[in-house]
Each structure stands twice: as structure tokens, then as C-alpha cells.
Chains A and B, each alone.
Chain A
Amino acid sequence: MGYSNIIEGRGVELSFAGLTIVFFALVAVSLFIRLLPVLLAALDKVLPSTPAETGVAQTTGPEDAEVAAIAFAIVEQRKRS
């Protein structure tokens, strides 16, 4: 128990190394994401993307803004009637 247990178990060393490695891995992921548009531009020359592939995330239903607009219109319609 106490500091001696931390020293014996190399706790500080393990924590520092562990956190450094986690940061390193996520920094590498972050840098890859940054480079992704450049890589995709290069890939486009070899394998041109189709319009569907360049599009935004496909939604399976109406966007939230559309739903809100429709709901507003229905409420206004009901107020008038």
C-alpha cells in the first residue's frame, strides 16, 4: 500500500507510457483524417467516384428541418381551420 506499491509496480512509468501511446494512436488517426481528402483526390484519378459516392450521408427519411417545416405548416393550417 502507499507510494512504495506505486514505485514497485512502476505505476507512474506505466501511466505515462500508456497515455503517450493512446495519444500517439489518436493523433495518427486524426492526421490520417486530415490527409483523407488529399488521398481521395489522388484515388479519384485512378478510380473516379460516382455521384452517389461523393454525396453526403444518405438519410433514410426526411431531414429534421423538413419534418419541422411540415409540422409547422400543419399546425398553422389547423389554426386557420
Chain B
Amino acid sequence: MDMLFDFLSTTAFANMNGGNALMIIVGIVFVSLAIIKHYEPLLLLPIGFGCVLGNIPPIEGMSVGVYDEGSVLSYIYSGVSLGVFPPLIFLGIGAMTDFSTMISNPKLVLLGAAAQCGIFLTLIGAMYLGFSPNEAGAIGIIGGADGPTAIFLSSKLAPELLSSIAIAAYSYMALVPVIQPPVMKLLTSKKERLIRMPAPREVSKRERIIFPVAAFLICSMIVPGSITLIGMLFFGNLLKESGVTERLAETVRNALIDVVTVLLGLTVGASTQAQTFLTLDSMKIFGLGATAFAISTASGVIFAKLMNLFLKEKINPLLGAAGVSAVPDSARVVQHVGQKEDPGNFLLMHAMAPNVAGVIGSAVAAGVLWSALVK
């Protein structure tokens, strides 16, 4: 009988607290949203299940959780904590990205730059709320709307905040269709939303091959801190565009990115243990994350309007919102908002230009912050 009672005291039922129970419910909600509503299922399902997995209280002394040395989850989580998984995801993203629309209209690259304002203004906001410069830098990068970049930078600058930052970044990426449209409508007039963009020029194969090499050299020479992310992004793109490594490109944009996404999502979810996640700092991070997204959207739109003061051929300012690098969701939002005003206005391909430029911009911003803040 003693053995039975001893066993009962080691069960999760005996050791569960309110925080763990709440996080398990949050995890189940994420999984439900993924399956029923199809909200970013490739991310929310692994993260949600990981949330459930990470909040079952283990037996004391047993290495089970992501923070327990020697556990299986900790070995997988090291891909997150050491910043290995995000560059591998960027490799896959590069192999599935088409930079043609950006090459055909280079002035739209500047919208991708403008949308990174959210990162740096949020950094100031985070410092105002009491975070250290390193923590503020890691929180600010949420405004780049790039999950892998957010995880990479927080693993370097503020590993103790990694789980909160990762969950905030991926949650708000899923909420892009909710956050962006009100900001876009507030800052643009109906006349501006009706602007149609001219058809993009054709881009040759040579341009698409030379671009990743040259852009990598430019970005990494200016910001060496971006070598890892930018290098993997453009390497993946070169695998795709060269035409001679289709097998490798196929692998990295399918098998490799899928494997890494599963492992990253599951372990990031499992890292949201109530004891480390349900804190005042996490609430502040979530508040700052929403602000960062809104500021990034606003700054992209406002910059497009500023550019129009000097351009003969006007840009539809909605494209500025696509500078937020949640590819391709923010481009889809631009298409949707534009089509509400004019069903014949097809902005999606034009919006992909600032969208992919935003990916480059957020990776460069991460490199800048890492270089400036690393000890």
C-alpha cells in the first residue's frame, strides 16, 4: 500500500498547479485553432502540443523537460537555444522565395526597410518598461514579424526570455490579418487605396542568379552580424535559382524545413512552462509585441506616402504594410484590403516585393542589434 501511495504522490495530478493547468488549456486552444480554424497550423499545432507536453509536471529528479539537463527534449531544444534551427529555416525560406518582383521594382525595397521602424521604436519602449538593452533588443525584433529571426536574436541576447518572445512573435504573425487592416485603413485615403500598380518588368535568369550573391555580399559587408541569417537565406535562394542544384533546393524547401519546423515548434511550445512563462515580463512582452506590429505596419504605410510626394508614378501606400516580413500573410492582407475598394486591383505580386525585402531588413536589423549589444 505504501508503494501505491508513493506512486500516487509522483503523478502529475498530485503535482499540478494552476499555472500548469492554464498553460495546458492554452496549448489545447492553440491546437484547436490550428485544426478547426486553420490558423497557421504548421506552427500552432506543434507549439500548442509542445505547450501541453511542457506543462505536465514530471517526477522530481527525472530529466524530462526542455530545461532538464540530459533529457531528450533538452537535446532537441538545443537547436533553438543555440540558434541553429532559425538559420536552417532561413535556408528553406530562401529556396522557396522568388525575388523577381523585388528585382523588377527596386524602389519597393525601401518599404521593407521602413517597416523595420517597429523594431527600434519597440526597443525604446521595452527599455522604458525596465528591460535591459539586451532584453529590449530581443523584444524589439518581434516587430520584424519574423519568427526565426526573433528566436535567433533572443537566443544570443536574452535566452531567459526566449520562450515568451517566440510565442509572442508566432502568435502575432498568426494575427497579422487582424492587426494590420485597421492600421492600414486609418492611415490611407480611399483614393490612395485605389491606386493601381503598373505590371512588373520581366526578370532574366541571370539577374535572379547574380542577385543572391551580390545582395549577400552587400548586406554581410555592411553588417557582418547578419552573415548567418542572410547567408543561409541567399544560399537557399541560389540553390533554387542556379538551376543546377534542384535536388538540393527541393530538399531544403520541403524535407529540411519541415523537420526543423516540427522540432522547433514542439520544443518552443514545451519551453512555455508556467513557472518561467506566466510572469509579468511575459505580459509586457506580449503588449510590446502587439505595439511593434502596429508600428511596423504604420511606418511602412507612412513611408510609402512620403515616397509618393517625390514619385511621378505613385505607389499604392497599402504596399508599405507588406514590409512587415510575415511572408506571405502581410502581402495577402494588402491584396485583401486593396480588393475591398477595387475588386480589379491585384496587389499581391507587387506586395511580395516589400514582403521579401522585409525579410532581408529584419535579418539585417537582427545583425545590427547583435553586433551592437553582444558582450
Please determine whether B204 and A33 come into contact, CB atoms closer than 8 angstroms.
no
User: Which of B114, B218, B368 has a CB less than 8 Å from the CB of A28?
Assistant: B218
Check: B38 CB closer than 8 A to any chain A CB.
no
Please determine whether A33 and B109 come into contact, CB atoms closer than 8 angstroms.
yes
Please determine whether A2 and B128 come into contact, CB atoms closer than 8 angstroms.
yes
Please determine whether A3 and B128 come into contact, CB atoms closer than 8 angstroms.
yes
Chain B: CB-nearest residue to A39: B210
Chain A contacts with B in 17-56, Cβ cutoff 8 A = 17-19, 21-34, 36-37, 39-40, 43, 49, 52-56
Please determine whether A11 and B124 come into contact, CB atoms closer than 8 angstroms.
yes
Please determine whether A25 and B136 come into contact, CB atoms closer than 8 angstroms.
no
Please determine whether A21 and B207 come into contact, CB atoms closer than 8 angstroms.
no
Check: A1 CB closer than 8 A to any chain B CB.
yes
Contact A33:B106 (CB < 8 A) given known A24-B222, A25-B218? yes
Check: B112 CB closer than 8 A to any chain A CB.
yes
Q: Chain A residues near B156: list those with CB within 8 A.
A: none
Contact A57:B208 (CB < 8 A) given known A25-B218, A25-B223? yes
Interface residues of B, CB < 8 Å — how many? 51
A to B contact number (C-beta, < 8 Å): 136
- Distance in angstroms between the alpha carbons of A9 and B222 in the assembled complex: 24
Interface centre among A24, A31, A55, A57 (most CB of B within 10 A): A57
Check: A78 CB closer than 8 A to any chain B CB.
no
Closest chain A CB from B180 CB (angstroms): 21
Closest chain B CB from A14 CB (angstroms): 6
Check: B211 CB closer than 8 A to any chain A CB.
yes
Q: In terms of DSSP, what is the predominant structure of the interface of chain B? A: helix
Please determine whether B369 and A53 come into contact, CB atoms closer than 8 angstroms.
no
Binds A, one of B47-55, B70-78, B96-104, B263-271: B96-104
Please determine whether B110 and A26 come into contact, CB atoms closer than 8 angstroms.
yes
Check: A5 CB closer than 8 A to any chain B CB.
yes
Please determine whether B364 and A40 come into contact, CB atoms closer than 8 angstroms.
no
Please determine whether A26 and B120 come into contact, CB atoms closer than 8 angstroms.
no
Contact A36:B211 (CB < 8 A) given known A26-B112, A27-B110? yes
User: Which of A26, A31, A36, A55 has a CB less than 8 Å from the CB of B360?
Assistant: A26
Q: Chain A residues near B130: list those with CB within 8 A.
A: 1-2, 5
Closest chain A CB from B356 CB (angstroms): 11
Please determine whether B206 and A29 come into contact, CB atoms closer than 8 angstroms.
no
Check: A6 CB closer than 8 A to any chain B CB.
yes
Q: Chain A residues near B219: list those with CB within 8 A.
A: 25, 29
Closest chain B CB from A15 CB (angstroms): 4
- Distance in angstroms between the alpha carbons of A14 and B205 in the assembled complex: 39
Chain A: CB-nearest residue to B134: A9
User: Which of B106, B112, B120 has a CB less than 8 Å from the CB of A18?
Assistant: B120
Q: Chain A residues near B113: list those with CB within 8 A.
A: 22-23, 25-27
Closest chain A CB from B95 CB (angstroms): 15
Known contacts A5-B127, A22-B364, A58-B205; 8 further A-B pairs (Cβ under 8 A): A9-B127, A14-B372, A18-B123, A18-B368, A27-B113, A33-B103, A34-B106, A57-B202
Q: Report, nearest first, the 3 A-B pairs whose CB atoms are least far apart.
A: A15-B120, A1-B130, A33-B106
Interface residues of A (CB under 8 A from B): 1-3, 5-6, 9-12, 14-19, 21-34, 36-37, 39-40, 43, 49, 52-58
* A–B Cβ pairs within 8 angstroms, 27 of them: A1-B130, A2-B130, A5-B128, A14-B123, A15-B124, A21-B368, A22-B113, A22-B365, A23-B114, A24-B222, A25-B222, A26-B112, A29-B219, A30-B106, A33-B211, A36-B103, A36-B207, A36-B210, A37-B207, A40-B206, A49-B206, A53-B204, A53-B205, A54-B204, A56-B203, A57-B98, A57-B205
